[in-house]
Amino acid sequence: MMNTPPFHRGDIVELEVRSFAFEGKSVARVNDFVVFVTKAVPGDRVRARIVTAKRTFAEAVAIEVLEASEHRITPRCPHFGICGGCKWQHVSYEEQLALKRQNVVDSFERIGGFRGVEVRPALGSIDPYFYRNKMEFSFSDRAWLTEADLGREVQSPSFVLGLHPAERFDKVLDINECFLQSPVSNHILSVTRRFFQERNVSVYSNKEHEGHLRYLVIREGKKTGDRMVNLVTLDDRPKLLGEYAEALLAGVPQITTIVNSINTRRAQIAVGERERVPYGPGTITEELGGLKFRISANSFFQTNTLQTEVLYETAVRLAELNGNDVVYDLYSGTGTIGIFVAPRVSRVIGIELVASAVADARENARFNGVTNCDFLEGDLLDLLARSTGWMKTSPKPTVLIIDPPRSGMHPDAVTTAAQMGVDRLVYVGCNPATQARDVKILAELGYQIEVLQPVDMFPHTYHVENVAFLRRK
């Protein structure tokens, strides 16, 4: 083992990039010393600048491609490499899918200790561009300048509307065009920027806790065509809001509702304590599998509508659902999975800790006329305790569908789920590492993996959803 690293911060080195690693970084080796490289693709030969030098590894950023990998492509977005939204636009989409599948394989082998499990090819997004139904842009008076800007000694603009550079939340990159949501959302972005710039409206400063404009959130119904513009501000200015709504509708008539969320707190979140609705119903509607879901400004909804249908259909197919099944939907959120499977089974019981999500789930069920779904609010462990009253009068589950947050499940929750003794269990994971950790416990408690199916919900990022189907031995 080396006592001192072979490189120092600032060194320029030539590297042969071999493979991908965690969080979309690539790996090069110099005499068994590992260098994690950003902006590189396996198969590249690059010149790179060392940005971190540790005793056992270094981190670098590629500054010149000397020999391009066969998997490297030209990024579509002019902001790529600076904006923090996309990490893999320089990688062919076929290779992205292969890498995401390999991420699942590596996690289940390295963390779960599984060997020989069937991991199917990742299911690609129908359209790897313009797939998001929600985008959140930030207003700022602190612009991020590119190296080209700095070379021209450009003065930093005092009004920007866009996205944060990678790992920099103190500044904002002015975005003219983004390929993640839709051309219409880009038009909304430009109309909004021009309107407030012309009126010299102040932007919010967290340090001073003053300034009017905080966030612009755009939501779209990919199936319905509904569009919501949610302007998040520090205070309430009805006259200015009315003028903005008029200008916005004149420039972008496809908008179906406009909301002003007022957030007076220091918390840097695009959520308000109260709302003003100058136009439309204040909500939009989206469809999943023929069902309709009403989405408010603060509702959670999966951000890739078309691929969410693929994800849920995959879960349904693997679970082998039938009309006699009773499904417990753990971490049920706003009820999308539970309501989606409800027409195919006898009963669905969802469990969710967040009160607002449970309220949304119940409303979504009513909105669709679904009567065989119940959504319970509370801690998972408490509600699944065998002494709990509702369990004594409710049918026992035949299938569990589990869709936890990125952090995965608490070990006690995994144990409790296993002790329910269902024959079929579907674990929908958005983090293969924590999913593999939890599935390892399930395997120790009598379950066997039958298949793993990765689903790509977020093209051009390293994130991947993975559906694990387990059967009780």
Spatial separation of the C-alpha atoms in residues 339 and 309, rounded to whole Å: 12
From the list 258, 129, 141, the residue with the least C-alpha distance to 201 is 141
Residues 456 and 100: beta-carbon distance below 8 Å: yes
**DSSP for 193-221, written as a single string:** HHHHHHTT--B-BTTTTB-SEEEEEEEE-
**Phi then psi for 319, rounded to 5 degrees?**
-75, -10
- Using CA atoms, how far residue 195 sits from 161, 189, 191, 243, in Å, is 12, 10, 6, 9
**Phi then psi for 218, rounded to 5 degrees?**
-115, 125
| 77 flagged as catalytic | no
> How many CB atoms sit inside 10 A of residue 45's CB?
17
Residue corresponding to tokens 């065998």: 386
User: What are the helix (H) ranges across 183-290?
Assistant: 183-198, 238-251
Task: Give strand pairing partners of 119.
Answer: 452
Catalytic residue selected from 77, 83, 373, 430: 430
Question: Which tokens sit at 235?
Answer: 């205070």
| Catalytic center residues | 430
